[in-house]
Amino acid sequence: MTMKLKSKLPGQGTTIFTVMSRLSNEHGAINLSQGFPDFDIDPRIISLVEKFMRAGKNQYAPMQGAMELREQISIKIREMYGANLDPVSEITVTAGATEALFTAVACAVCPGDEVIIFEPAYDSYAPSILLAGGAPVPLTMHYPGYCIDWNEVKDAIGNKTRMIIINTPHNPTGAVLTEHDISALLDITRGTDILILSDEVYEHIIFDGRRHESMSRYPELASRSFVVGSFGKTYHATGWKVGYCTAPRTLSEEFQKVHQYITFAVNTPVQLALAEFMERREEYLSVSAFYQEKRDLFLSLLKNSRFRAVPSAGTYFQMLDYSDITDMPDTAFAMELTKKHLVASIPPSVFYHRRNDHLVLRFCFAKRDETLKKAAEKLCAI
């Protein structure tokens, strides 16, 4: 007898990241699809992990996270955004940012609640909402600048609206929120019980002198926000899966009630190593310049191609318009690009509920210079 299970996510299949990386491997393509570096992390962090392992720090960390790491997160947020967070009651270390996003939704969204998301949206948002019994309310960011129409947000808010999910800098588009966006968000949420889940994993990767508009910077927004960060993006260590969530004490209490039954605690020696490395402020403060050089190199290499770019304002992703090459849908062209031209990318249409006909692909430039040069040579030959 074959057991059958009624799916809680009947519309979900294998993620596009897995699909494109597998296709890239099958064809020996240059993988600019999934968002991870092809260069190694700082060997000093590895040495720190080894130090704490050999010092016997190999048992469970506190459920909320190693205090040393929470204290360093608190210091960083105070220095960067002027917010004073209690490391005891307002910071939780998680098994990656995706766990933090899932946990925030799980603890706050009840059956029948509505959650506003902005598309193209990172692919974990909607499934998390559905698993909590909520309903995603997708609003489309306006191409080509991928900006939010806040009048549309006002129209979408109703008595069932429980949460708005913000992502800045934005994956997959590279767009960032401005002070105008913050002002609009303040006006919309003031006097309501709407929560904000702010995905800020690329907070340290922002370009051209822009300022990261963290919810932590604005007390009125911070009072209703779960703010999610990531060490994987900042320190090029995506495989370590260490993130965190900050929230006011009452929200953190509910967050931790769920977190303790998902992962309970995160890898102890890695937490302690990150805490010590965070004392080197210049390391996370220099990440923007590091990736801006890579963005600028990638764009310069493509200037004679048939692709057209709106320079990324943040993240390590670049959207390229290919309408001068073909009118193929983005998924079909991404497949052809991987199989025929040996460069893998991500088709953004998979991040929409509604039909999207924009002829763009997302490329990751968190790669060695030689990787970007080889990929650009292939793209320029199309």
Beta carbons of 108 and 254 less than 8 angstroms apart: yes
Residues 96, 103: Cα–Cα separation, whole Å: 11
Average pLDDT over residues 305-311: 93
DSSP SS3 for 230: strand
Which one of 279, 306, 324 terminates a domain?
279
pLDDT at 12: 77
Contact (CB, 8 A) for 309 and 319 = yes
- How would you list the strands of the sheet with 114-119, edge to edge? 91-94, 243-246, 225-230, 195-199, 161-167, 114-119, 135-140
DSSP state of 221: H
Pairing of strands 91-94, 243-246: antiparallel
Same domain assignment for residues 293 and 275: no
pLDDT band at 356 (very low <50, low <70, confident <90, very high): confident
Confidence of residue 129 (pLDDT cuts 50, 70, 90): very high
Do 269 and 289 lie in one domain? The reply is no
Q: Are residues 172 and 74 in the same domain?
A: yes
pLDDT of res. 149? 98
10 is a domain residue: no
pLDDT at residue 34, rounded to an integer: 85
* Band of pLDDT at residue 11, cut at 50, 70 and 90: confident
DSSP H or E stretch at residue 139: strand 135-140
Look up the CATH number of the domain holding residue 290. Answer: 3.90.1150.10
In this structure, are 296 and 223 located in the same domain? Answer: no
- Mean residue pLDDT across the chain: 96
Backbone angles phi, psi at 366, to 5 degrees: -80, 65
Query: Per the domain annotation, does 325 fall within a domain?
Result: yes
Q: Give the model's pLDDT for residue 311.
A: 85
Is residue 158 classed exposed, middle or buried when 0-12, 13-18 and 19+ CB atoms within 10 A define those classes?
A: exposed
Residue 4 in any domain: the answer is no
* pLDDT of res. 342: 96
User: pLDDT (tens digit, 9 = 90+) per residue, 190-222?
Assistant: 999 999 999 999 999 999 999 999 999 999 999
Q: Which value, in Å, is the radius of gyration of the alpha carbons in the chain? A: 21
Q: Which helix (H) or strand (E) holds 378?
A: helix 369-380
At position 136, the amino acid (one-letter code) is P
Average pLDDT over residues 316-340: 96
Tell which residue, 325, 348, 347, has the closest CA to residue 338: 347
121 is a domain residue: yes
Angle, vertex CA 357, rays to CA 128 and CA 158, nearest 5 = 45
CA 166 from centre of chain: 10
Residue 10's pLDDT is what?
86
Same domain, yes or no: 98 and 145: yes
Do 271 and 364 belong together in one domain? no
Three-point CA angle 320, 206, 48, nearest 5°: 115
| 259 within domain boundaries | yes
Phi then psi for residue 195, to 5 deg, are: -90, 160
Would residue 102 count as lying in a domain?
yes
Domain with 303, as residue range(s), is 16-35+285-380
Cα 96 from chain centroid? 10
- Secondary structure (3-state) at 265: coil
Residue 2 falls within a domain, yes or no? no
12-44, pLDDT tens digit by residue?
Answer: 777 888 888 899 999 999 999 988 899 999 999
Lowest mean pLDDT among 285-289, 309-313, 372-376: 309-313
**Looking at the domain assignment, is residue 1 inside a domain?**
no
For residue 339, the model assigns a pLDDT of 96
Q: Which of 258, 279, 300 lies at the terminal end of a domain, its last residue?
A: 279
* Selected residue with higher pLDDT from 350 and 107: 107
Statement to judge: residues 324 and 305 lie in one domain: yes
Q: Residues 135-177: pLDDT tens digits? A: 999 999 999 999 999 999 999 999 999 999 999 999 999 999 9
CB-based contacts of 220: which residues, under 8 Å, 6+ apart?
A: 186, 190
Strand order across the 317-321 sheet: 308-309, 317-321, 360-364
How far is residue 35 CA from its own chain's centroid?
Answer: 10
| Residue 125: CATH number of its domain | 3.40.640.10
Residue 380 has pLDDT above 90, yes or no: yes
pLDDT given at position 104: 98
Residues 202 and 344 in one domain: no
Q: What is the C-alpha separation between 382 and 374, in angstroms, rounded?
A: 13
- Tell me, what's the pLDDT at 19? 86
169 and 221 both lie in a single domain: yes
Please state the domain count of the chain.
Answer: 2
pLDDT at 113 over 80: yes
Percentage above 70 pLDDT, the chain? 100
Contact, 254 vs 272, CB < 8 A? no
How would you class 40 by CB atoms within 10 Å of its CB: exposed for 0-12, middle for 13-18, buried for 19 or more? exposed
Domain boundary among 249, 279, 309: 279
Question: Do 238 and 295 fall within a single domain?
Answer: no
Q: What is the pLDDT of residues 227-280, one digit of tens each?
A: 999 999 999 999 999 999 999 999 999 999 999 999 999 999 999 999 999 999
The amino acid at residue 179 is E
The confidence score (pLDDT) of residue 15 equals: 81
Do 55 and 91 lie in a common domain?
Answer: yes
| 275 and 289 within one domain | no
**Which two three-digit tokens encode residue 22?**
């597998």
Residue 318: count of CB within 10 angstroms of its CB? 25
